[in-house]
Structure 1
Amino acid sequence: MLRRNVRLRREYLYRKSLEGKERLLYEKKRKIRQALEEGKPIPTELRNEEKALRSEIDLEDDQTAVPKSSIDDEYANASERDPKILLSTSRNPSSRLTQFVKELKFVFPNAQRINRGGQVISEIVEACRSHEFTDIVMVHEHRGEPDGLIVCHLPFGPTAYFGLHNVVTRHDIKDKKAVGTMSEAYPHLILHNFSTKLGERTSNILKYLFPVPKPDSKRIITFANQSDYISFRHHVYEKPGGPKSIELKEVGPRFELRLYQIKLGTLDQTEVQNEWVIRPYMNTTKKQKILGA
């Protein structure tokens, strides 16, 4: 299994190394297309390659015209099977963190929770790869209050780091009707205001934690971005008075997420490229809208 993982990782890095060459080739083809459409002469530096490039252009379609990157490859086959998630915590979790992770187990379908114990991150990641887990969700705390959530996509990444704020567990929600048996049906997702390129990337990381629901599912999970804080809400709905009467109930938990880093690798890799990381100057009002308007 270790040899197989090394081979797959080497192949992944090799495909990633070709991205620069593919992007350069795409730019050359784009210039030729643009010149032909506008009736302008072919750029001087491309005239020696024009014949070969035009033959390649003739063979392309909508799927092959734009080069795909390793970021596209990460979730290219994600819809072919349901996600399988491992949930864990930092070492020696408090009772509040343990309760919160138990509730997250019902939030994410097909999730399995383990006690961290003395296991190191590399052992957890390797075990998840060998048992075909698709994601690892790790929750951290500070002085008994959950304050961090990590989402690591397997087998090669990415890994997204979120700050956790205003965590309210199910039994802390003031509406007592919300406390009851939690539905385990696959939920419908609402992703609101992820309009930028980074926002789309973040919504993909969150979206692929959930399988495709059935049309009659009455469970709704919402990720709503406002000023780069992602509000998580969990509801079920009923139709007590017929199809035109809908009653919405919050079942919890409730919290806010703040993205601060995305790495192009897995949780156990320390020397990997940062795809994006928050900087101090990004906290200013002028540059605050990172994920969406």
Structure 2
Amino acid sequence: MLRRQARLRREYLYRKTIEDKQKSIQDKKNRIKKSLENNTTIHGDLQKKALHYQKKLEWEDEGPEAAVKIGGESGGTFANSQDDEYRYAGVEDPKIVITTSRDPSSRLKQFVKEVRLIFPNAQRMNRGNYEMKQLISACRANDVTDFIIVHEHRGVPDGLVICHLPYGPTAYFNLSDVVMRHDIPDIGTMSEQYPHLIFHNFKSTLGDRVTSILKYLFPVPKEDSKRVITFANHDDYISFRHHTYKKRDNQIELDEVGPRFQLKLYQIKLGTLDAINSADTEWVLRPFMNTTVKRRFLSDADGWDQE
């Protein structure tokens, strides 16, 4: 089993390396093509190989590859190994394990119980003294698709880590303004139906990436499901809301189920938690980004800042 996992991981990294090289070459071709179409000066870094790339452009066309394009500002990018991370999404229901940091407080335990009810097919596991490698290995052996850890600071939940298995990515979120179910007056009952999902204001490439990470934690709902979960992005803070609805006199009435909280993404790693030190960083929120008040990374296409 360990040899097979190592081999699959090597194959995945090899495919990704080849894709990165092809992406770099295609980007240079697109820049040259754009300069020729607009009759502008070709960038100095591209002038030496401009004729070489221009000859290749003459023989290239959309071809059948256009059918596998995914949306983007420049007309789309070809499907790659990032898409393989979620290739079974929608075909098989996700299987999620949720745990906490070591020695959790009673409030964190209560919050994790409520988080488990949010995700269908989720299981809560006591952390104990297990190391991260042991936990991830056990999850892989049992075909777990996502591993979630909730952190706290002095009894207040303040962090959420979502690790997609078997290869990643791993997304890190700050957790704030947590209001648990028992803190909401006149709270509705918790439905076990598969929820419909609403994603608001995730318009950039990074926004699409975060949408995939969150969306595929949930199985495909049935049409008659009365349960709705909302992720609304405002100034890069993702508000989580959980409701059930019913129709009365041709009107829709919403009942909040809870809990409610806010997420703020600060890092995405291209790997799992057991090998996080050797994993590449796909995106990270850096200190200088906090000074750009007008920037919106999840809603603005210019906010995608890859490593």
Q: TM-score, structure 2 length as denominator?
A: 0.84
- Cα 1:142/1:29, change in 2 over 3 Å: closer
Residue of structure 2 aligned with 1:263, choices 269, 290, 293: 269
Structure 2 counterpart of 1:93: 104
Deviates more, 1:66-75 or 1:135-144: 66-75
Checking the alignment, whether the CA contact within 8 Å between 1:163 and 1:260 is kept in structure 2 is yes
How far does residue 71 in structure 1 lie from its aligned partner after superposition? 1.9
Moved over 4 A (4+): 27-38, 46-50, 56-59
- Cα 1:292/1:31, change in 2 over 3 Å: closer
Q: Distance in 2 between matches of 1:247 and 1:274?
A: 43
Find out whether 1:204 has 2:193 as its counterpart: no
Structure 1: stretches of 5+ with no match in the other structure: none
- Cα 1:164/1:46, change in 2 over 3 Å: closer
**Equivalence map 1:72-151=2 (5 Å):** 72-151=83-162
Residue of structure 2 aligned with 1:62, choices 44, 61, 66: 66
Residue of structure 1 aligned with 2:197, choices 189, 214, 233: 189
**RMSD across aligned C-alpha pairs, in angstroms?**
2.5
- Cα 1:100/1:67, change in 2 over 3 Å: same
Q: Distance in 2 between matches of 1:58 and 1:102?
A: 50
Find out whether 1:229 has 2:216 as its counterpart: no
Structure 2: stretches of 5+ with no match in the other structure: 39-49, 70-76, 301-307
- Cα 1:59/1:292, change in 2 over 3 Å: closer
Q: Distance in 1 between matches of 2:283 and 2:99?
A: 24
Structure 1 counterpart of 2:17: 17
- Aligned length, in residue pairs: 282
Checking the alignment, whether the CA contact within 8 Å between 1:228 and 1:288 is kept in structure 2 is no
Q: Distance in 1 between matches of 2:119 and 2:240?
A: 13
**CA deviation string 1:87-110 (max 9, x = no partner):** 100111111111111111110011
Letter in 1 for 2:17: S
Q: Distance in 1 between matches of 2:13 and 2:192?
A: 38
Deviates more, 1:87-96 or 1:63-72: 63-72
Structure 1 counterpart of 2:259: 253
Identity among equivalent positions (%) equals 57
Residue of structure 2 aligned with 1:283, choices 282, 290, 302: 290
Structure 2 counterpart of 1:239: 247
Checking the alignment, whether the CA contact within 8 Å between 1:171 and 1:179 is kept in structure 2 is no
